[in-house]
Every structure is written in structure tokens, then in C-alpha cells.
Amino acid sequence: MLLSIFSPQSPLSARYASRLPLLWLLFSLNLAVAQDINQEQQQSADDEANNARLLALASELEQRQLAIDNMQSDLGIYAPALLEAYSDLATLYNELEDYSSAIKSYTDALQLARINSGLFSEPQLPVIQSLIVNNGKLEEWQEVDDLQQLKYFVSSRIYALDDFDYITAVERYGAWKLRLLRENLLDQNYRGLSNTAIDLSDFYDRVITKIETQTNSRPEKLLPMIYGKTQADMALARSIASTPYNAFEGTVSPYVSQTRCQNVRTAQGQYVRQCYQVKVVNPRYRQSQRDAKQFALNRYTREITKSIEKLRDIKNRSTDLSRVERQQLDGQIAQLETESGQLMRAARRQSLF
């Protein structure tokens, strides 16, 4: 019917044709209103579903807390079964995005794990990891750093040096410390960042040395640690290169004493020579600051070069690396060489010396 009205042969076509823009506007408005109504209905349904979920979680939360109270009353406050109960309670708090309460429950669980399994035991590792995640959501970075160190320390006491779990613990601890450096999550000054980078480099150096001294140690296990150490050394060298020389402590005293004399007239009208000591700027101090910066820079660029050579040597000598692993290692070596070259060029800028 509508098509016949707007056909060229229809006598009504001219009259309706003039109203087409208005009809189209009305149609669009009706469609928009219908969409808004549907969206409001959908939002209302989503809100109702979310409220129902929250009510269910709150009810379950109350039941789990009551179950913990009953277990403490029946079994004692240090019963091993409470470990899982506290962890389940923390999981519910997570769903409610109440991370502070989740941290409290995981802290209780960690205490139970240490009491029942010992200060260095595997059951506490997943609890520590959960504490790390929740403190990270609250951006409590100092607490995260302390927990990361605790997690590595426990892992180092329960796993052997050549154990896969220990290697994984080293990689994760190193990755966290490297993130700490790159993002400066603890808001450290230059000295603090430098100390963190030095500690990380020394940490990798100790671990690599320990594993290398193990009998039948496979060099391929060292690859992630050597790469991590290179990243730490690169961060430190980059920081040194971009820091003006006068931020470094010189190797000589900044001041020296000089004797100065002058003729002084006495009350009797005679002239006598009087001498005294004064402190003046040591002309050698600035050069010693430049030397200190260059020494520090050379130290870590040598470490970078040595690590790259180690990676290349393992790649050339290994018969256990797959084709994909070799390609990945080639990419890492190329990346490190590129970054090292850029670092060397930046270090030559005279304005920083």
C-alpha cells in the first residue's frame, strides 16, 4: 500500500513526496526512542543481576566467616584447615573488590602456613603471591617489594639451585626489581635507583656463579639470568651516562688548605709577617668527578659486553636449544647490541662530562 502511494503513477505521490523529510525525521526519532528504552531496560536488568550477585556474595561471605569462627572454636585458632578457609574468604573479598579485607585474610592465612609448615615451606608461596597481587591493586609498592623479597628468600631455601622452580623464582624476582627500576615505583632519587640497580646486578652475578659451579649444570639454564643481569647493567649504565659528572663523588678532597701571609704593623710601628691557613676549592676535584663517572660507566659497559659474549657463546656451543629458542636468543643478542651501541654514543656527550 505504502509503495503504491509513492509510485509515480499515484495521484497522492506529489503530496506525500513533499512530506518525506518530515516522515523520515519522525521515523528516526521513534527508532532512537525505542533504542534508548531498550538500553535502559538492559541497564536495569544488568543492575538487578549485579545487585543479586553482590547480595549472594555478601551472604556467602557471612557464611564463610561463621564457618571460620566455628572451626576456630572446635579445632583451635591454628588449625591447618583454616588455611584454605582464609584463602577462600579472601577470594570472595576479591570478587567484591575489597582488596584491603582480602589482604587481611591472606595475611592470616600466611601466618597459619608459617606456623603449621615452618618458616620456609612451599604452602606459603601461593599465599605470598596473592598478597603481592592484592597489594599491587592498591599500589602499595613498598609492601609488594617486601613480599617479593620474602617470596624469593623462601624459594631459595626450599628449592635446589638447578630446580626449575628456583630458576623461575629468580626470573620473577629479577623481573620485579627491573620494573621497580624502570617505573621508579618507590619514588627513589638517583642514589636509591643506583643502589637498587647495583643490588640487582650483584644478585644475578651471585646466582650465575653458584649455578656455574654446580656439577653437570646445563649452561642453557643461565640464559634468562644472564639476560636479566644485562638488563640491570644496561639500566644502571644508562642512568650513569645521563647524569652530570658533578653528581658523582670525586676521588680527592673538594677543598685544600693554603697558607696565606701578610705584613701587619704592630703597636710599636714595626711590621711583622703573619701567616694563616685558608680552605680553597681543589682544582683537581672536578676532574676527579669526571674520572669517577667514567670509571663507573666503564665498569658496567664492560659487564654488558661480557654478558653479550656469554649469551653468544652459549648459543654457539649448545646442542639442546631448539630452532625457535635459537631465533629468540639471536633476537635478544641483537637487541642488546643495539641498545649497548646507543648507550656508548650517549656516553660520549661532552656536556655530561
List, in order, residues 6 or more apart from 258 with CB less than 8 Å away: 277, 278, 279, 280
What is the per-residue pLDDT for 6?
Answer: 44
Q: Burial of 37 by CB count in 10 Å (0-12 exposed, 13-18 middle, 19+ buried)?
A: exposed
Q: Give the chain's mean pLDDT.
A: 84
What is the per-residue pLDDT for 1?
Answer: 46
What is the per-residue pLDDT for 169?
Answer: 95
Fold annotation for 78-251+300-352: 1.25.40
The 3-state secondary structure of the chain reads CHHHHCCCCCCCHHHHHCCHHHHHHHHHHHHHHHHHHHHHHHHHHHHHHHHHHHHHHHHHHHHHHHHHHHHHHHHCCCCCCHHHHHHHHHHHHHHCCCHHHHHHHHHHHHHHHHHHHCCCCCCHHHHHHHHHHHHHHCCCHHHHHHHHHHHHHHHHHHCCCCCHHHHHHHHHHHHHHHHHHHHCCCCCCHHHHHHHHHHHHHHHHHHHHHHHCCCCCCHHHHHHHHHHHHHHHHHHHHHHHCCCHHHCCCCCCCEEEEEEEEEEECCCCCEEEEEEEEEEECCCHHHHHHHHHHHHHHHHHHHHHHHHHHHHHHHHHCCCCCHHHHHHHHHHHHHHHHHHHHHHHHHCCHHHC
| Radius of gyration, alpha carbons of the chain | 35
Mean pLDDT, 10 residues at a time, over the chain (353 residues)?
47 53 64 68 65 72 83 86 89 89 94 92 95 96 97 95 90 93 89 88 92 80 91 88 85 89 86 89 90 89 93 90 91 91 73 52
What is the per-residue pLDDT for 2?
Answer: 44
List, in order, residues 6 or more apart from 94 with CB less than 8 Å away: 102, 134
- Specify the residue for cell string 654446580: 214
What is the per-residue pLDDT for 217?
Answer: 75
Model pLDDT for residues 68-91, shown as the tens digit of each residue: 888 888 888 888 888 889 998 898
What is the per-residue pLDDT for 46?
Answer: 64
Model pLDDT for residues 207-263, shown as the tens digit of each residue: 999 888 876 778 888 899 999 999 999 988 888 888 888 888 888 888 888 898 988
